[in-house]
Amino acid sequence: MACTINVNLPESSYEIQIAPSTLDKLGEYMSKLELGRKVLIVSNPTVFELYGARVVNSLEANNYQVFTCILPDGESYKNLDSIKEIYDACIEHRLERSSTLVALGGGVIGDMTGFAAATYLRGINFIQAPTTLLAMVDSSIGGKTGVNHPKGKNLIGAFYQPKFVLIDPEVLQTLPEREFRAGMAEVIKYGVIWDAEFFAQMEASTHLDSIKTISPELLETIIKLSCQAKADVVGQDEREAGLRAILNYGHTIGHAVESLTGYTEVIHGEAVGIGMVAAGEMAAELGMWTKAETERQNHLIAKAGLLTHLPKINIDEIITAIQIDKKVRDGKVRFILPTQIGKVEITNEVPTDTIRSVLNNLQRM
């Protein structure tokens, strides 16, 4: 299944390499870029125990001097304290401008490592080695890096691109099923916002809800088409001046749900699934697409084993939380809403009554 996808950008194009056992080739890939000899691997105990030795061996075999920074596991550690731990390790090991940070883990590790790389010495090299489905198909690509603030998701960050992304799909075999399903939410997102054919292919498939039973061919397609969709969008609008906002489909309500449930009860991908259901229902209320299309979308989300109703959260708190969404303009919350499977639009404003009634209905389900 080896394949290369290019992320074409004005100043910092790079490759996404997808191949089995590719983690063992990280050192080799790095050598081609003529980077400095010092490398700091940023990971967490869960992932490092499983895959750290392979990455260390590959780097050492290519004459890199390797250091590690192992952060606690979990979204609740995606904060500035963890970034300070990365800076401390960089300083302790005298990392230089030519040195490299390697993010080995899911989206939490990837977002934090990218932010530390963007800011340490005003910018050093970084590489994404994603180990969750979500990180492979979404967070490792496109250069959105950052951390959460107690008041909301990803409020502090920078756009900063990796030198390359190395995807070894075999590592998904150890991923907990819940995390696999969460990744499927971002995969389904690409079908709704960008690729109707891909959506239909998933609709016609079975076993979308388990890494143990999904067919290897479908998994391969899912990773490739998702990476391609993300690369296409980011290639047209690196810094979210316009088009890129479509990648935020489902995230306005999703981020509020995630933060209001303390980042553990509902994890990112699950919250995005609920957010897509809410956005689809809003679009139907506003006559932007049909009820039948909403049901097609919701059916696929449910088939991937994801929640389609809103957990018990105070709806006023959700309405308040969405006011700090990054798409807010002139104080108005803007939503990405679908017009048909494969197409979405950014709205100017959705009446608060519509938001409230959709959320109420989703909670009663």
Ligand X SMILES: NC(=O)c1ccc[n+]([C@@H]2O[C@H](COP(=O)([O-])OP(=O)(O)OC[C@H]3O[C@@H](n4cnc5c(N)ncnc54)[C@H](O)[C@@H]3O)[C@@H](O)[C@H]2O)c1
Residues annotated within the binding site are 73-78, 107-111, 131-132, 144, 153, 186, 251, 268
Report the residue number, 110 or 280, with the smaller CB distance to ligand X: 110
**Per rule CB under 6 A, count of chain residues that contact ligand X:** 30
Whole-angstrom distance, CA of residue 120 vs CA of residue 83? 10
| Cα–Cα distance measured from residue 215 to residue 200, given in angstroms and rounded to the nearest whole number | 16
For residue 73, state whether it binds ligand X (rule: CB under 6 A). Answer: yes
Site for ligand LNCXM5UN in 181-200 (CB under 6 A): 186
- Give CA–CA dist 291/296, Å, rounded: 9
* 244 given a catalytic annotation: yes
Using the rule CB under 6 A, is 135 a contact of ligand X?
A: yes
In our burial notation (b when 16+ CB lie closer than 10 A, e otherwise), range 305-343 reads bbbbebeebebeebeebbebbbbeeeeebbbbbbeebbe
- Residue 30, burial from CB neighbour count under 10 angstroms (0-12, 13-18, 19+): buried
Q: In this structure, how many other beta carbons lie within 10 angstroms of the beta carbon of residue 6?
A: 12
Q: Could you list the residues known to form a binding site for Zn(2+), using ranges.
A: 186, 251, 268
User: Can you list the positions of beta strands (E) in the chain?
Assistant: 3-7, 14-18, 38-43, 65-70, 100-105, 125-130, 144-149, 152-159, 164-167, 336-340, 343-346
- Taking CB under 6 A as the binding criterion, the range among 79-87, 102-110, 120-128, 343-351 that sits at the site for ligand X is 102-110
Q: Does 154 bind ligand LNCXM5UN (CB under 6 A)?
A: yes
Cβ closest to ligand LNCXM5UN, residue 99 vs residue 145: 145
178 is an active site residue: no
Please choose, out of 44-52, 246-254, 282-290, 330-338, the segment that lies near ligand LNCXM5UN by the rule CB under 6 A: 246-254
120: its two tokens: 């340490």
Q: Does 244 bind ligand LNCXM5UN (CB under 6 A)?
A: yes
The interface partner of residue 22, options being ligand X, ligand LNCXM5UN, none and the CB cut-off 5 to 8 Å by kind, is none
Residues in the chain: 365
Contact partner at residue 195 from ligand LNCXM5UN, ligand X, none, CB < 5 to 8 Å by partner kind: none
Residue 106 or 152: which CB sits closer to ligand X?
106
What letter does residue 162 receive in the DSSP assignment?
-
Rounded to 5 degrees, φ, ψ at 63 are: 65, 30
Nearer to ligand LNCXM5UN, 154 or 205 (CB): 154
The residue annotated as part of the active site, out of 163, 255, 296, 334, is 255
Rule CB under 6 A: say whether 78 interacts with ligand LNCXM5UN. Answer: no
In the block, tokens 């970034």 appear at 83
Return the structure tokens found at 19. Answer: 């191949």
Is residue 144 part of the annotated active site? The answer reads yes
Q: Which residues bind ligand LNCXM5UN (CB under 6 A)?
A: 138, 142, 144, 153-154, 186, 240, 244, 247-248, 251, 326
